Each structure stands twice: as C-alpha cells, then as structure tokens.
C-alpha cells in the first residue's frame, strides 16, 4: 500500500512553507480525487442514459402500433353474389369464399372512388384493390355470416388499409422505398394521399391491436395482441393460485417450524440455487416433465403456468420469509402466553401482520413471471394461434400465446411493419409491469409496519 508522499521530515525546507499553500503533491491528490468522483458520476450517467435510450427506442418504434390507417367505404352487399341460393341459409352462404367477397370489395372501392371524384387514371383494378388489407374480405365475410340480414343493404364498412400504406402515413415507407418494393407502387401511395384528403381513408386509434387475434405474415396491419394478453392473464391467474399458497406454506414451515437440521439446510440451499437457475432450464424441465412425461398439451397456458410457478416460488419464498422475520417475537410470545397453539399463533397473528410484505413479494414475482420468455418458447407457445381460448377452466388447456412470446414471434417475421407491432406489444407489456410494480409500492407504503 503506497501512501502519497506529502509529508516527511526529509524535505528540509518544509517549515518555511504555509500550510494553506497547496503543494504539488496535494494538488495531484486532489486531482485524483476529482477524477475518481467523476468516474462515479459517469458510471451513473451511463446507466441512466442506457435506460433513457431503451425507453425512447421502444416508445418511438412502438407508439405507431396503436394508430392504424383505416379505409371507410360504402359497400352494397349484393344478394346475388353473397347468397346465390337466395334462401338466406347461413350454411349455404358459407360456400361463398373470401375470394367472392374480395371481388365485391374491389368493385365497391372503385365505385366509391368514382362517386367521390378521386382520379385513378393509369392504375389497374388490382392496384386499387391492393390498398385494402388482405384481411378485409375475411372481415366482411365474418360480418355477413354473423348477421345475414345485412345482405342487400348498403353499409358503411371500415377496414384496415394495407400495411405499406399505413407505413407511408407513419413515415416508415417513402416514395423512394416504394419504387423498390414489389408490394406497393408510388401510384398507390399517391392515391392513398388523395383518399385521405377526401375522407375515404383515415388514421385512428386501433382497438384491434389490443383485442384482436394475431394475423399471418402477409397482413401485419391486422395483427393484434388479444390472444397473447388473454393467455398471459390465464397464466398469471394460475401462477397466483399455485405459487402463493405453496410459497407461503413453505416459508411458514421454514421460518416458524423447521428444526435446525440437515434437511432444513438442504431445502434452504435448494431454494437459493433455484433462484439462480437460468430460466431456459425451467423450460427444458417443462418440456421433459409436463409435456413428454405427463402428456399435457403443448402451447397450453396450464403448462406455462406450471413452469412459471416453479420459477416464481423462490422469489415468493424469499420475500415471505423476510416478511415473517420482520414480525417481532413479542407478538408470538403474547399469543403463546394467552394459550394459543403454535399453529394458531402463526395463522392468527404472525401471518396477517406479514401479509403486506408477502403480497408485495408476490406481485413482484408475478411481474417477473409475466415478462419471462425463454421457457415459454420451449413448451410450444411460439405456435401461431388464431382462435381465442375458451373460458376457464377448459381454456387453460387450449392453445394460447403469451405477451412476451408474441413479441419474439413478431420480430421473427420479415415485414418491417411487425417491428412496430413488436415494440407496441412491449409498450403494453411494460404498462402491465409498471402497474403491478406501482401497486406493490403502494401496498408497501400503506400497510408496511415499522416495529
């Protein structure tokens, strides 16, 4: 250890110098001090900067997903094409495929453009129809099949514009990029501009993004988070139902009853290690145990929930034990003193007092579980799911997606519009996490007791 040489009897002329005058050595040491301090500030700056960069990157990429370009057109649902048998029988009408509806949409859009005086010279019919999402015919077909009385009427139909046009209004697609793009032409974008000016196209909040199902690779504009949010909600419910009782019971045993012996040590070491096992290993466990061995269905929320429960347990146990430990022994002594049994002491007195801490820990554990992706990939939740799972309890066995996995899924698709969707999904995920953490903080602030 080398101490800086600032003092020492060997420097002879030292006595003649004032203490207030700063010599070279002291200056060097002060500079080192300032330098060291600035490193600290820089480190904090780097960390905060990274956070800011992360948040702005997600927000700037993802906010667009909540707004969407819609085409609002008048369409006459001609009875002779949609209901060729003329009986109004839904089964017969199902024979008309989306291709038939596509043709209807095309003629309706062209007629609409004409009646509003929007010029389309030089464009083929196919190009004009290409402004509509590929989802539009299916949307119209579902609408008609759900309500056959619409046939023969002229209705105002609102549907998605194609992803490229939507990207054009959000600045993702430009005239130059359209030149090179086989999916859109500059003429189409100009037409979109004219349609927007005449009110045939508009940009508005997209509820379909929050509540609709996922859509295939070719129709990013129709892709929604509905199934993913529902799947995540199912999993969180199951995780709560499974992990909270098991975690609390385990903690009560370890904290209040367990004798100091080898078994207890083994359990404690196990919990500490489980908390640090990589999440993907839990995914492998889920695949081998729940799917291959027990034969539970792939992509089902129940399997995801089981895996996430095992992952969340250590968090809940650690929080619960800390919270039980903070209840002062005088409470226990008082209860035991008036004749309560050990079990009554714990369940009637200690546990209620520890509850705020337990709930806080549980919510934080759930928040972790909500954002977990890797184990869910392995148990098949990456599958493309288009049908909403049914209501619980059967719904727990139906295939579903999960929020973070949906994000991953979208990043694997080619169309750049899915990047916007993925960032939008991240915003939804972060909003849920923020809410959960705020609830946890409020709980802690309001109910935490200091003894």
Partner 1 sequence: MTVGLILLIVLAIALSGYVLGRRRSLRMVGGDIRKLHSLPGFYGQSVLIFAAVPALLVMLGWMLLQPPLVDRHVARLITEADIAEGSSRDLVMSDVRRIADGLDQMMAAENLSEDALQALDAGDSDIRAKLGNVGIALGSDVRSAVFEAAKVYRDSAATGRTLMTLAVIGLALTGAVFGYLRIAPEYRARNVAETSVKALLILSSFVAVLTTVGIVLSLLFESLHFFRLYPAREFFFNLTWNPQFRGGSDLGIFPLLWGTLYVSFVALVFAVPVGLMAAIYLAEYASKPVRAVAKPLIEILAGIPTIVYGLFALITIGPLLRDYFAQPLGLGASSSSVMTAGLVMGIMLIPFVSSLSDDVINAVPQAVRDGSYGLGATQSETIRQVILPAALPGIVGAILLAASRAIGETMIVVMGAGAAAKLSLNPFEAMTTITVKIVSQLTGDTEFASPETLVAFALGLSLFVVTLGLNVIALYVVRKYREQYE
Nearer residue to partner 1 within complex by CB, 137 or 314 = 314
- Return the range that interacts with partner 1 (CB under 8 A); candidates 64-72, 83-91, 221-229, 268-276: 268-276
Asked whether position 274 contacts partner 1 by CB under 8 A, the answer is: yes
| CA dist., res. 423 & res. 402, Å (int) | 15
Nearest to 322 by CA among 365, 290, 367, 289: 365
**What's the closest the beta carbon of residue 259 comes to partner 1, in angstroms?**
11
Read off φ and ψ for residue 344, nearest 5 degrees: -65, -40
- Return the range that interacts with partner 1 (CB under 8 A); candidates 17-25, 152-160, 187-195, 250-258: 250-258
Residues 148 and 90 sit within 8 Å (Cβ to Cβ):
yes
Region 79-98 residues binding partner 1, contact defined as CB under 8 A: none
Asked whether position 438 contacts partner 1 by CB under 8 A, the answer is: no
Residues 6 and 29 sit within 8 Å (Cβ to Cβ):
yes
Per-residue binding string, partner 1, 208-247, x by CB under 8 A, is -------------------------------------xxx
Helix then strand then coil, in percent of the chain rounded to 5, is 65, 5, 30
Asked whether position 340 contacts partner 1 by CB under 8 A, the answer is: no
Asked whether position 65 contacts partner 1 by CB under 8 A, the answer is: no
Read off φ and ψ for residue 446, nearest 5 degrees: -80, -40
**What's the closest the beta carbon of residue 175 comes to partner 1, in angstroms?**
23
In order, the DSSP letters of 198-252 are TTSEEEEE-HHHHHSPP--TT-GGG--SHHHHHHHHHHHHHHHHHHHHHHHHHHH
**What's the closest the beta carbon of residue 117 comes to partner 1, in angstroms?**
42
Asked whether position 289 contacts partner 1 by CB under 8 A, the answer is: yes
Which of 11, 154, 216, 270 forms a contact with partner 1 (CB under 8 A)?
270
Nearer residue to partner 1 within complex by CB, 6 or 333 = 6
Which of 23, 27, 47, 119 forms a contact with partner 1 (CB under 8 A)?
47
Asked whether position 50 contacts partner 1 by CB under 8 A, the answer is: yes
| CA dist., res. 102 & res. 99, Å (int) | 5
Region 359-418 residues binding partner 1, contact defined as CB under 8 A: 367, 370-374, 377-378, 380, 382, 393, 404, 407-408, 411
Distances (CA, A) of 421 to 68, 120, 130, 178, 193: 11, 31, 21, 21, 23
Residues 298 and 405 sit within 8 Å (Cβ to Cβ):
no
Which of 100, 279, 318, 340 forms a contact with partner 1 (CB under 8 A)?
279
């Amino acid at each position: 250890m080398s101490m800086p040489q600032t003092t020492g009897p060997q420097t002879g002329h030292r006595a003649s110098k004032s203490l207030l005058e700063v010599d070279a050595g002291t200056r060097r040491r002060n500079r080192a001090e300032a330098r060291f301090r600035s490193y600290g500030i820089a480190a904090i700056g780097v960390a905060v900067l990274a956070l800011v960069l992360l948040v702005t990157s997600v927000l700037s990429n993802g906010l667009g997903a909540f707004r969407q370009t819609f085409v609002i057109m008048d369409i006459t649902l001609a009875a002779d094409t949609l209901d060729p048998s003329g009986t109004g029988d839904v089964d017969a009408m199902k024979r008309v495929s989306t291709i038939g509806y596509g043709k209807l949409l095309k003629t309706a859009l062209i007629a609409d453009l004409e009646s509003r005086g929007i010029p389309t010279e030089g464009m083929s019919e196919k190009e004009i129809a290409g402004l509509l999402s590929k989802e539009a015919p299916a949307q119209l077909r579902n609408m008609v099949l759900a309500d056959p009385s619409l046939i023969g009427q002229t209705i105002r139909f609102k549907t998605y514009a194609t992803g490229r046009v939507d990207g054009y209004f959000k600045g993702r697609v430009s005239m130059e990029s359209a030149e090179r793009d086989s999916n859109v032409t500059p003429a189409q974008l100009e037409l979109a501009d004219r349609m927007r000016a005449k009110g045939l196209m508009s940009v508005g909040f997209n509820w379909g993004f929050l509540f609709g199902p996922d859509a295939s690779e070719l129709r990013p504009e129709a892709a929604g988070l509905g199934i993913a949010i529902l799947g995540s909600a199912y999993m969180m419910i199951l995780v709560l139902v499974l992990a909270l009782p098991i975690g609390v019971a385990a903690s009560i045993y370890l904290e209040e009853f367990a004798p100091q012996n080898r078994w207890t040590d083994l359990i404690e070491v196990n919990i500490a290690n489980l908390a640090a096992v990589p999440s993907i290993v839990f995914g492998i466990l889920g695949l081998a145990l729940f799917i291959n061995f027990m034969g539970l269905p792939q992509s089902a929320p129940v399997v995801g929930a089981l895996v996430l429960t095992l992952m969340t347990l250590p968090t809940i146990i650690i929080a619960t034990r800390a919270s039980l430990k903070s209840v002062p022994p005088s409470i226990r002594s008082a209860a035991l003193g008036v004749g309560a049994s050990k079990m009554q002491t714990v369940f009637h007195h200690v546990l209620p007092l520890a509850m705020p801490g337990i709930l806080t820990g549980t919510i934080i554990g759930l928040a972790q579980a909500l954002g977990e992706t890797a184990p869910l990939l392995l148990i098949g939740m990456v599958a493309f799911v288009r049908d909403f799972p049914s209501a619980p309890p059967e719904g727990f066995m139906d295939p579903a997606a999960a929020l973070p996995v949906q994000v991953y899924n979208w990043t694997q698709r080619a169309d750049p519009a899915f990047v916007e969707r993925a960032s939008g999904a991240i915003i939804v995920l972060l909003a849920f996490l923020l809410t959960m953490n705020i609830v946890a903080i409020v709980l802690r602030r309001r109910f935490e007791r200091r003894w």
